[in-house]
Structure 1
Amino acid sequence: MTTSQPASGRCPAHAGRPARPDQPLPIYGPEFNADPHATYAQLREQGPIAPVEISPGVWGYLTTTYRSARYLLQNTPNRFAKDPCHWHALANGQVPADSPALMMMQPRDNALWMDGREHARLRHAITSSLARVDTHALAATVTAIADQLIDAVAPAGACDLVAQYADPLPMLTVIEMFGTPPEIGHRITTTLARLFDADQDAAAANADLETACLALTRLKRASPRRDVTSWLIEAGLTDEEMVQTILLVIGAATTPSSNLIMNALQRIITDPRFAGSVHDGVQPVCDALDEVLWTDPPVSNYSPLYALGQQTFEGVTLQPGYPILVSFAAANGDPSLGLTPTSYAGNRGHLAFSAGVHACPAPDLARTIAETAVERALDRLPHLTLAYTPLTRRPATFNSGFTALPVHFQPTAPLTPTGR
């Protein structure tokens, strides 16, 4: 069920167009992953939108300022399209079939990659379904899942907060929200993590992912329940649309949420401004989340857009046919904003949840999951400290997080005798 090429008739071919803009900087690899903001600063010197190599053999542009990011997002779809059929290199067969970027940027029959009426129809199905989620029940679900995960590590006095907490918690929460049997839910979320990490087996991960989403759709068509999958089916989506919409919504709810949880915990544990004040209640967890959403957004670069005809922004000429990634990390870190550490608390002007017609459809649900998870970890794991440094970060092309967050804490008894 792969859709790695544009559907016939959606867009004309773009023969003869170059696949590479002039002098692109790579936004992948060990050097970039070690310090993405150094690359963003270099790119910003070139202009508000600069040429990049997204992955080997895949070229495009990246926004480098807050103004350019907002301009593109707020002028979609009248000046910039989401539909990847406008990607000339893809139409001409110039994108490597095994490219990690292809799996993250290829055309799919879901709202993220569509414009106009079809986008509005599919987005409404998503927003109306997610609006039926009870946030109080969601917080209770997250708390119960957090307690199960913490019970398993609490007596040991040490754990990896990524592998044993931040990664599985959103996965298990989404399985519950979508009414997903554990085996299908595990297949969906683990393959999504491989895609977000720009893994070299991305093509195989994509095929596994679509197969699992189809299995979930068929299960819920046969036996609907009060869950997000069943509500999406009620909205009238086809099997193909269901597969790609499940992929979209679960993808947006798992790896990014994991990154937000781990980035917030790392900040609270290591930053003296938070380490004491959050634990003693002087500074709430939501303030720490606000700062992390500004300074280390869980999705660093995404939302590829395509210029509809030649466009100019602040002196930069954008040729049609190239993907333009919106850098949420570069936008939030734009020095021209003049932000200081005291500027973040309560400030929701960041672009961590994107903006415009393709903005995150349920940022409040994302915050509920992350805030509840962080609070529960702090409540139940006293005297958290890092076990070692430096920490290793995940590949930073599309997302920002850690591969591991090893910690020590005061051993405590599980809430249940079995630790389950």
Structure 2
Amino acid sequence: MTADVSPVRTPYPLYGEEFMRDPYAVYERMRAECGPLAPIEVAPGVTGWLVLDYRAALDLLHDTRSWTKDSRVWQETVPEDHPVLGMLRWRPNLLFSDGETHARYRKVITDSVARIEPHRLRAMTQEIADLLIDTFIDEGRVELVGQYCRPIPLYVINRLFGLEDDRAPNLIQALAGLMEGTGPEATAQFERYMGELLMAKMAQRGDDITSWYLDHPHELTPEEVLHHLVLTVGAGQEPTTNLISNALSRLLADDSYRASWTDGIHTPREAVEQVLRFETPIANYAFHFPLRDINFHGVDLPAHTLVMVSMAAAGADPKGPGAAETRGGSRAHLSWSAGPHACPAQQPATLISTTAIEHLVSRLPDLRAEVPRSQLEWRPGAFHRSLVALPARFTPPGGLT
């Protein structure tokens, strides 16, 4: 399909009230007006293109000859202090690399992730879930995003990386700022925290991912280890938080669906798959840059133009696989990306999410939403689909609230 897009078409902003309220309506308007690619403004003053179609997304994600993940040429066009660079500034890690360098980095990650024993991870998640639930179980109400969905992956990751539980909350604000593009201070705070972890582990190893990175046969430099810590914590925390909270928000909005969980008819894994397919936690990312001037699905793109894949729009593509929303239907989606840069930690992220949901529903079987789902507020940002809050009620051990 050839996109009828003029180079001077006004870009669609991926920010503001309209996009935050209903991004899927914006994606559909883009698709109707532009075809597979649409011009976008990721943040004020930063433009690029968004891939909307499932097939076009796969074409890009599997084509390593035409595209690069190295953002250094592009970022010279962006002011040094622009908040969007928190997500797009080049770093020496697998996300921003190609070819042999990417393969070397990825091997370190995959080998280290493979050392995480599933039963250990599940038990750890259950223990942390219990600790968190115990802090609010007597209240009969909870704000699930702040009190449960966000802390769980953070505490799990911190333990896997060799951090103590009492240090975990310090990362929440920095990670949220990084995703929302609030400024370079969020990035600096995050990297400073991880730098302190690296120094501690360089002095004394442990049975943790940080030490495994340091001791891997591919011999990453301390700087490379630092940037892979930054990547792994950031990539593991925010998407997993959103995966848990988005799934719970859908669950609590549907009484019959919630009852089917408690009766064992449906499983947490099915709810997680529904979110991955229809409300992906990371909506727009998978950034790439053409290595040379190219024509991609009918659009002329100059070399080193920012092009992002919309995992959300691709999942909603009416021509894509499993377009109709049905429970237990097609698992075809791009939430984990695809090709050589597909997420290397899909299984741990899924295990943490399903365990967190399962344990919460098991301990609070009458958990119910306080606010209709249509009235929930979403956090601003081009990259994620993330709830501000998810208030809920339940019967505490002492009786009715």
Give the TM-score normalised by structure 1.
0.88
Alignment partner, residue 125 of structure 1? 108
Indicate whether 1:52 and 2:40 are aligned.
yes
Where do residues 259-298 of structure 1 align in structure 2 (5 Å cutoff)? 259-272=242-255, 274-298=257-281
| Cα distance change of structure 1 residues 22 and 182 upon mapping to structure 2, 3 Å threshold | same
Residue 184 of structure 1, CA deviation: 5.0
Distance 2:323 2:40 in 1: 26
Note the alpha carbon deviations across 1:317-350, whole angstroms, 9 max, x for none.
22222110111000101111252233x5264321
Residue 313 of structure 1, CA deviation: 2.8
Instruction: Report the residue type matching 2:67 in the other structure.
Output: F
Distance 1:248 1:273 in 2: 39
The percentage of counterpart residues that share the same residue type is: 39
Match of 1:372 among 335, 349, 355: 355
Alignment partner, residue 28 of structure 2? 41
Indicate whether 1:225 and 2:206 are aligned.
yes
Note the alpha carbon deviations across 1:8-29, whole angstroms, 9 max, x for none.
xxxxxxxxxxxx9642110111
Match of 2:66 among 79, 92, 99: 79
Unaligned runs of 5+ in 1: 1-19, 414-420
Indicate whether 1:393 and 2:378 are aligned.
yes
Residue 168 of structure 1, CA deviation: 0.5
The 10-residue stretch of structure 1 (78-87 or 190-199) with the greater mean CA deviation from structure 2 = 190-199
What is the DSSP-based 3-state SS (H/G/I as helix, E as strand, rest coil) of the residue aligned with 1:51? Answer: strand
Instruction: Report the residue type matching 1:394 in the other structure.
Output: R
Instruction: Report the residue type matching 1:320 in the other structure.
Output: A
Q: Could you tell me whether the CA contact under 8 Å between 1:187 and 1:209 is conserved in 2? A: no
Q: Could you tell me whether the CA contact under 8 Å between 1:59 and 1:323 is conserved in 2? A: yes
Residue 310 of structure 1, CA deviation: 2.1
The 10-residue stretch of structure 1 (99-108 or 252-261) with the greater mean CA deviation from structure 2 = 99-108
Q: Could you tell me whether the CA contact under 8 Å between 1:198 and 1:395 is conserved in 2? A: no
What is the DSSP-based 3-state SS (H/G/I as helix, E as strand, rest coil) of the residue aligned with 1:321? Answer: coil
Unaligned runs of 5+ in 2: 1-6
Residue 207 of structure 1, CA deviation: 1.1
Distance 2:171 2:231 in 1: 11
Q: Could you tell me whether the CA contact under 8 Å between 1:184 and 1:212 is conserved in 2? A: no
Residue 187 of structure 1, CA deviation: 3.5
Distance 1:359 1:230 in 2: 24
Note the alpha carbon deviations across 1:343-373, whole angstroms, 9 max, x for none.
x526432111111111110101000000000
Instruction: Report the residue type matching 1:375 in the other structure.
Output: E
Residue 151 of structure 1, CA deviation: 0.9
The 10-residue stretch of structure 1 (66-75 or 161-170) with the greater mean CA deviation from structure 2 = 66-75
Indicate whether 1:158 and 2:164 are aligned.
no
Alignment partner, residue 404 of structure 1? 389
Distance 1:388 1:31 in 2: 21
Distance 1:319 1:193 in 2: 33
Residue 143 of structure 1, CA deviation: 0.2
| Cα distance change of structure 1 residues 27 and 137 upon mapping to structure 2, 3 Å threshold | same
Match of 1:113 among 74, 96, 99: 96
Alignment partner, residue 205 of structure 1? 186
Instruction: Report the residue type matching 1:341 in the other structure.
Output: E
Residue 189 of structure 1, CA deviation: 4.4
Q: Could you tell me whether the CA contact under 8 Å between 2:315 and 2:333 is conserved in 1? A: yes
Residue 384 of structure 1, CA deviation: 1.6
What is the DSSP-based 3-state SS (H/G/I as helix, E as strand, rest coil) of the residue aligned with 2:40? Answer: strand
| Cα distance change of structure 1 residues 294 and 65 upon mapping to structure 2, 3 Å threshold | same
Residue 412 of structure 1, CA deviation: 2.3
Alignment partner, residue 360 of structure 1? 343
The 10-residue stretch of structure 1 (128-137 or 232-241) with the greater mean CA deviation from structure 2 = 232-241
What is the DSSP-based 3-state SS (H/G/I as helix, E as strand, rest coil) of the residue aligned with 2:383? Answer: coil
Distance 2:25 2:246 in 1: 19
Q: Could you tell me whether the CA contact under 8 Å between 1:310 and 1:317 is conserved in 2? A: yes
Indicate whether 1:339 and 2:292 are aligned.
no
| Cα distance change of structure 1 residues 184 and 409 upon mapping to structure 2, 3 Å threshold | closer
Instruction: Report the residue type matching 1:41 in the other structure.
Output: E
Q: Could you tell me whether the CA contact under 8 Å between 1:163 and 1:404 is conserved in 2? A: yes
Note the alpha carbon deviations across 1:29-72, whole angstroms, 9 max, x for none.
12111111111112112020111000001000001111111111
Indicate whether 1:174 and 2:157 are aligned.
yes
Q: Could you tell me whether the CA contact under 8 Å between 1:187 and 1:208 is conserved in 2? A: no
Distance 2:38 2:311 in 1: 14
Alignment partner, residue 312 of structure 2? 329
Instruction: Report the residue type matching 1:228 in the other structure.
Output: I
Aligned CA-pair RMSD: 1.7
Instruction: Report the residue type matching 1:36 in the other structure.
Output: P
| Cα distance change of structure 1 residues 237 and 186 upon mapping to structure 2, 3 Å threshold | farther
Instruction: Report the residue type matching 1:32 in the other structure.
Output: F
Distance 1:325 1:34 in 2: 21
